[in-house]
Amino acid sequence: MTTAPLKGLRVLDFSQFLAGPYASLRLADLGAEVIKIERSGKGDLSRYLYVSDVMIDGESTIFHAINRGKKSVAVDLKTEAGKAQVWELIDGADVVIQNFRPGVIERLGFGFDAVRARKPGIVYGSVSGYGTGHDWDALPGQDLLAQARSGVMWLSGAANDGPVAFGLPIADILAGAALAQGVLALLVRRGISGEGGHVETSLLEAMVDLQFELLTTHFNDGHRPPQRPAANAAHAYLGAPYGVYETADGHVAIAMNDLGDLYECLGLAAPDASRDPFADRDLIQSEIAAAVRPLTTKSFIKTTEARDIWAAPVSDWRDLRQSGVLQALGCIGETSRGGETFASVLSPLRVDGARLRADGAAPYLGAARPEWATRD
């Protein structure tokens, strides 16, 4: 059996909903014991506030998805008894994570400085909406709002589509992944020197990092705005043929390719050598689209694969599920709680050939055992 790299490590997680809990989920899958500090009576908002109408054992699917294998302690942080319970947990913890708005955790008495004063070697992780020290720091830190403020919505879609949001909470997930990376780095430093520390990130910083290639171009090309294609859009900064094209029965994606090879594959006359893949992007893509549209997806992919043209079918979740690839990789597992067994998406990491996962399902509110302040 593979030894989980973080076995024996304890994480106290004050965070809720997505960004912070995603970070602690990654740590839990690597073997850490994660204890959620939740509000008495209510708990994590994601237990009941979510758009899905699918519930598992009385709680939302997102809560189950992002809190697998964690423990829960229900505490009233406004009472002295509740604070004493949390300090007892901190005394036995290695990592603390929180995602309150800036200033809130400090007012509750558990900010980094207070925790470090009691436990100098603590590794402390904070994620907020926009960081601190500017006019946005007190604004609501929510995924869609961070996408909107980051400029990323002007990179997807076609020229006349207006801003296009991601269909996923990408700011939350990327911020959580960045926080987990920072926590692991501080744990390595602590292992070397004994020094703890505070790692911070935000939804905005995660979205800026996502755009680092294109923003670097933008900051150095006279601040020209991105130019999305008129149709077949996939990337504002890449020339033809890069895009998504309709077939007779679906869609295909075509990546960077030699235009001559692609035109020959499609039975088109060789393109004019004077054409520029970016300046003439809309014209080139319209010619490719017209050639692809009568073809079935299967026939197009068979032809392009034989010629080593970079292309792929655009799959939906049914196609992905039926491909068998996720099952072969071991990406999907089963979890049980309250007599219900349900599918779970597991960690993207494999360690020593094994896909590690946190043991057990998402916790019931306050269900940690009475000896919660002691280690196993």
> Which CATH number covers residue 262?
3.30.1540.10
- Is residue 362 classed exposed, middle or buried when 0-12, 13-18 and 19+ CB atoms within 10 A define those classes? buried
Q: Which of 44, 57, 172, 249 is an active site residue?
A: 172
Domain count, the chain: 2
Looking at residue 111, which CATH number applies to its domain?
3.40.50.10540
Residues 339 and 298 in one domain: no
- Percentages of the chain per state (helix, strand, coil), in multiples of 5: 35, 15, 50
Integer CA distances (angstroms), 145 to 117, 163, 179, in order: 35, 13, 19
Kindly report the three-state secondary structure assignment for every residue of 222-262: CCCCCCCCCCCCCCCCCCCCCEEEECCCCEEEECCCCHHHH
359 is catalytic: no
Q: Pick the closest to residue 237 from 162, 166, 168, 152 (CA basis).
A: 152
- Are both 121 and 255 inside the same structural domain? no
Q: Kindly state whether residue 181 falls inside one of the protein's structural domains.
A: yes
Give the CA distances from residue 185 to residues 1, 103, 190, 199, 210, in Å, rounded to whole numbers and listed in that order.
Answer: 25, 25, 9, 9, 20
Host domain of residue 258: 243-322
Q: Are 310 and 37 in contact (CB under 8 A)?
A: no
pTM summary value: 0.92
Helix 170-193 vs helix 203-210: crossing angle, to nearest 10 = 100
Three-state SS at 95: strand
Claim to verify: residue 148 and residue 57 sit in the same structural domain:
yes
Contact 99, 128 (CB under 8 A): yes
For the chain, the distance separating the N- and C-terminal CA atoms, rounded to the nearest angstrom, is 19
Taking the C-alpha atoms of residue 21 and residue 172, their distance in angstroms, rounded to an integer, is: 10
For residues 177 and 200, the answer to whether their CB atoms sit within 8 Å is: no
For position 370, what pLDDT does the model report?
53
Closest CA to 35 of 269, 265, 340, 371: 371
Beta-carbon contacts of 365 under 8 Å, excluding residues fewer than 6 positions away, are: 38, 43, 47, 72, 74
Residues 29 and 139 in one domain: yes
Task: Please give the Cα distance from 265 to 306 (Å, whole number).
Answer: 10
pLDDT given for residue 272 in this prediction: 92
Q: Let me know whether 294 and 194 are in one domain.
A: no
DSSP annotation of 330: T
Q: Is residue 328 part of a domain?
A: no
Contact 72, 43 (CB under 8 A): yes
In a domain, 364, yes or no: no
Taking only the tens of pLDDT, the chain with its 376 residues reads 679 999 999 999 999 999 999 999 999 999 999 999 999 999 999 998 876 788 999 999 999 999 999 999 999 999 999 999 999 999 999 999 999 999 999 999 999 999 999 999 999 999 999 999 999 999 999 999 999 999 999 999 999 999 999 999 999 999 999 999 999 999 999 999 999 999 999 999 999 999 999 999 999 999 999 999 999 999 999 999 999 999 999 999 999 999 999 999 999 999 999 999 999 999 999 999 999 999 999 999 999 999 999 999 999 999 999 999 999 999 999 999 999 999 999 999 999 899 999 999 999 999 986 555 555 4
Residue with tokens 């034989």, as numbered in its chain: 306
Q: Do 34 and 155 share a structural domain? A: yes
- Do 184 and 41 fall into the same domain? yes
Same domain, residue pair 68 and 190 = yes
Query: Buried (b) or exposed (e) across 231-261, using 16+ Cβ within 10 A?
Result: bbbbbbeebbbbbebebeebebbbeebebee
Domain identity same for 199 and 275: no
For 325, list phi and psi in degrees, rounded to 5.
-70, -45
Q: Where are the beta strands (DSSP E) in 120-177?
A: 123-128
Residues 173 and 251 both lie in one domain: no
